[in-house]
Amino acid sequence: MTFISGEEVAKHNTRQDCWVIIHGKVYDVTNFLPEHPGGVKVILDQAGKDATAVFDPIHPRDIIETHLPPEACLGEVDPATLIQTAKVKTVETEEEKRRHELIKKKPALNEMLNLFDFEAVASQVSTAEAWAYYNSAADDEITHRENHNAFHRIWFRPRVMRDVTHVDMSTKILGHYSSFPLYITATALGKLGHPEGEVVLTRAAYSHKIIQMVPTLASCSMDEIANVCGKGQVLFFQLYANQNKDITRRVIQTAEAKGCKALFITVDAPQLGRREKDMRMKYVNAPPDIQDEKELNRNQGAARAISSFIDSGLNWNDLEWFRSVTSMPIVLKGIQTLEDAVLAVKYGCDGIVLSNHGGRQLDFARSGIEILPEVVEGLKKKGLLNKVEIYVDGGIRRGTDIIKAIALGAKAVGIGRPLLYAMSSYGQAGVERALQLLKDEVAICMRLLGANTLADISPDMVDIKNLATHVYTPKDYLYSGAYERLVPRRSKL
Ligand code: 173
């Protein structure tokens, strides 16, 4: 292996001649620049430098081997010069200093009593970028808040005088055992929240015997995730279809070969929603030389930076092609109407997720839980209900939320952000505790409802007469913050 000095690397810092250091290796990425899904600019910012810290949270380790020809690796950087780079890096910003103080003061894990506690801690101890990316949602974030609020419009009709000494909350999702009716849904960029990324969730899923859906845009590679799986652990795979069908095929087939048991195709994101918290973060952090309009358009937050590969042409006719490249069951993630639920069944899908992408896509999309009765009733009328499993995600924060979804006909629910918050603030132990808290809440809720098993939780145990009534006008924080009240002028007379 050739050794190259840091000074030498630094000379290759232009669009015509661009080298970067990643994990101690020097790469010539000049020819790759136009192909980078995140755009040229983000790489050019790192030209001639050690890009590892910027690279790691976004990319799985094996992406270099899969995207760059072997000759792009020019050698290893001289370790002596790397030490210098590391020294420069350890200068802490004020923001980081404050964060490290807060980390020292964070409550003990056993003080976390519900998922909101984790969210509160994560908002303090996460890096500004991680918080902006995980917490952000579309436009005025009205759907984001509505996702949880909708559960407040469902009330219980508990049954009493039943022997509830034993409760069994286990179920099967697409035929696979799950200790309770919840799976970890796909969320991108795990390493923003924790240096190890998604494998933290994989390990916690195993210890709780639940299923994890692996995201296309994980920070860990499929290999890294499969390698930490326990015996018999089940993974599903979430797909963002690539405009290049060969890549899509390869991604699906790799997931299947690594043992994933179902393909969840995301159908609600042909274009990424505007997540302004995320976008603003990049604006603040952008170096002064790219704070002009033209460059800013390319620099619209972590999500948009890596989303340009997504196929906005995805349509119902593609389902036949998906069937031809995989034998995994196919589930559409992001169904939001009965009409599309019917089409999903007609096109032979095995499941649907009623989801609005955690409120990150179309603001004013209804919550999954609100759509559930409409879909269940409609499919039942058409004799199609037994053809698909129905899942709901968005806004699940309590055991009672899970039971409400089960009562209304969901097979299971997905959960995303809350576990990222638990992971960002307390690592694997945090995720395990968050899941345990949910399990405890589910058990209590079942007992107090008079249900021994999930099958005993029936639609007549919930009162949904107000579910679809949006009686309260959602608060529009941006509008209210900007609105100037009309103050009548007082006459001086
Ligand atoms: O919600 C998201 O942030 C998301 O799904 C996504 C999509 C494309 C790139 C990065 C994240």
Q: What phi and psi, each to the nearest 5 degrees, are found at residue 333?
A: -105, 115
Nearest atom of ligand 1 to the alpha carbon of 361: 1
Residues 194 and 220: beta-carbon distance below 8 Å: no
What DSSP assignment string belongs to 413-463? EEE-HHHHHHHHHHHHHHHHHHHHHHHHHHHHHHHHHT-SBGGG--GGGEE
Tokens coding 113: 């009593």
| 268 is annotated as an active-site residue | yes
Percent of the chain with pLDDT over 90: 73
Ligand 1 atom 6: residue of nearest CA: 303
- Does the CA dihedral 321-375-240-420 come out positive or negative? negative
Residue among 136, 191, 217, 353 whose CB has most ligand 1 atoms within 8 A, to mutate? 217
Task: Identify the active-site residue in 117, 278, 357, 426.
Answer: 357
Q: Give the residue with greater pLDDT, 298 vs 360.
A: 360
Nearest atom of ligand 1 to the alpha carbon of 304: 9
| 240 is annotated as an active-site residue | yes
Task: Report the pLDDT value the prediction gives residue 290, as an integer from 0 to 100.
Answer: 46
Residues 191 and 197: beta-carbon distance below 8 Å: yes
Residues 399 and 407: beta-carbon distance below 8 Å: no
Residue 488 CB: number of other CB atoms within 10 A?
A: 5
Nearest atom of ligand 1 to the alpha carbon of 278: 3
pLDDT, tens only, 272-323: 999 998 888 875 555 545 445 454 454 566 676 678 888 999 999 999 999 9
pTM: 0.88
Task: Report the pLDDT value the prediction gives residue 52, as an integer from 0 to 100.
Answer: 87
Residues 436 and 413: beta-carbon distance below 8 Å: no
Residue 62 parent element (H or E): none
CA distance 431 to 302: 23
Tokens coding 116: 């909101």
User: At what angle are helices 417-449 and 128-135 packed, to 10 degrees?
Assistant: 50
Residues 326 and 349: beta-carbon distance below 8 Å: no
Q: Which residue's structure tokens are 């199609």?
A: 384
Q: Could you tell me the pLDDT band of residue 421, with boundaries at 50, 70 and 90?
A: very high
Ligand 1 atom 10: residue of nearest CA: 303
